[in-house]
Amino acid sequence: MRRIYLDHAASSPLLPSAKAAMEHALALYGNPSSLHAEGRAAKARIDEAREVVAASLGCLFAEVIFTSGGTESANMAILGASVAALGGARNRIIFSSIEHPCVLETTETLQKLGYKVETIPCSRAGFIEQEALANMVDKGVLLVAVMHANNEVGTIQPVRQLSEIAHKAGALLYCDAVQTYRTIPFTASDLDADLISITGHKIGGPRGAGALYIRAGVKIAPLISGGGQEREMRGGTEDVAAIAGFAAAVQDETKDQRKPARDAFLAKLRGSRFVETVSHDHNILPGHAHLRLPGTGAETLLIRLDRAGIAASSGSACSSGSLEPSHVLQAMGYSAEECREGLRFTFGRTSTVEEAEAAADILLNLATS
């Protein structure tokens, strides 16, 4: 049985170009911090990768810090900025109510540091309410965290407008761009964010490599002490092969087929009384389709889909195993029961229309049987 993978928002298959770059970099066994030729060769490969990522973001070489991925980047941004500002007049931090768990779960640590954490509501369609943010932000706010696009329902937020609101009060803006990086075009200046997190494994790169954009002049305290790597922002010997694979995925020019595949999938489902679309047609990621099957538990259906050869999910992969209803759907106004009926199908650059249509047929068959 040929399987159909529709969970690209969780992780995408490693691209051949990324694999080749990693295999080549594995031969660079020198420590990048060493002064000898072997060390310099490894360091040069990291610098080449940093140039690639910086160019993709339209930012300075020195503004890119390599990390292990989106979760570490988020923690470095939020906790690093908070530690750096301890003792100052700004003691409030604002998150959107639909942020990724890696953002929301920093709340306890922030509270221990003495910060008050507040959340911005969102609309039924999953968009952050700008007026609510404007009413919340003042000179006591240190940082506002808003994701570029939601990992569950795919809504793309107006980050630049939200950034203007934050900056007007002198607050920093952190943006989780893990879902949008190399999926929709943008630069750091487009978002006007002070801190931006990205990762490699959502775009066909390896797991274990990501980056944090830190706007020049923004103060961040390092969370990992060590040998002064990554401009003294992240101690520890860099994973040269993972970083090389990440950069190769950034540069890869494989034709992106996620939107036609997603559209074909939804077209097949349109009109069915057994399936409701949660993701709206405007301002959502081109590969996202979040559905509700009223009266059907998502976990049970996911198991049946898996047995039928389809990989999908019920929400954030970073909350796998949780029996709690989706905090994103709850923030959008869905009941706990409705939240447990949600399924996420996410298409990647290698998805095909044929796969999408076959998956839709299987889903409809399972939903009606």
305 and 195 within one domain: no
> Domains in the chain: how many in total?
2
Q: How far apart are CA 44 and CA 95, in angstroms?
A: 38
Q: Which of 211, 227, 251 is the last residue of a domain?
A: 251
Considering the domain architecture, whether residues 184 and 227 belong to the same structural domain is answered as: yes
Report, as an integer, the average pLDDT of 218-224: 96
Cβ–Cβ < 8 Å for 92, 115: yes
d(CA 268, CA 301): 18
Domain that holds residue 273: 4-13+255-367
Q: Are residues 129 and 232 in the same domain?
A: yes
- Is residue 175 part of the annotated active site? The answer reads no
Between CA 121 and CA 95 the distance in angstroms is: 9
Residues 212 and 326 in one domain: no
Does residue 91 sit in the same domain as residue 22? yes
CATH number at residue 286: 3.90.1150.10
Do 243 and 286 lie in a common domain?
A: no
189-212 mean pLDDT: 98
pLDDT confidence of 317, banded at 50, 70, 90?
A: low
Q: Does 187 lie in the same domain as 54?
A: yes
Residue 320's pLDDT is 52
The pLDDT assigned to 318 comes to 54
Q: Which of 251, 266, 291 is the last residue of a domain?
A: 251
Co-location of 244 and 336 in the same domain:
no
Among 251, 268, 287, where does a domain finish? Answer: 251
Question: Tens digit of pLDDT for each residue in 27-38?
Answer: 999 999 999 999
Mean pLDDT of 239-261: 96
Q: What is the pLDDT of residue 319?
A: 53
| pLDDT at site 229 | 94
Position 169 scores a pLDDT of 98
Q: In this structure, what CATH number is given to the domain that contains residue 196?
A: 3.40.640.10
Please check whether residues 247 and 313 belong to one and the same domain.
Answer: no
Question: Percent of the chain beyond pLDDT 70?
Answer: 97
What is the spatial distance between Cα 175 and Cα 195, in angstroms, rounded to a whole number?
6
pLDDT-derived band at 233, boundaries 50, 70, 90: very high
Which of 59, 102, 175, 318 does the annotation list as catalytic?
318
pLDDT 10s digits, 255-310: 899 999 999 999 999 988 878 888 766 899 999 999 999 888 889 999 999 999 99
What does the mean pLDDT of the chain come to? 95
Q: Could you report the per-residue pLDDT of 67-81, keeping only the tens digit for each? A: 999 999 999 999 999
Point out the least confidently predicted range of 5-9, 235-239, 319-323, 360-364. 319-323
- pLDDT-based confidence at residue 321 (cuts at 50, 70, 90): low
The verdict on 88 and 113 lying in the same domain is: yes
Tell me which residue of 238, 250, 243, 239 sits closest to 182, measured CA to CA.
250
Do 237 and 110 share a structural domain?
A: yes
| Per-residue model confidence (pLDDT) at position 296 | 86
Kindly tell me if the per-residue pLDDT of 323 is higher than 70: no
Within this chain, do residues 223 and 293 fall inside the same structural domain, yes or no? no
pLDDT reading at 197 higher than 80: yes
pLDDT above 90 coverage of the chain, percent:
89
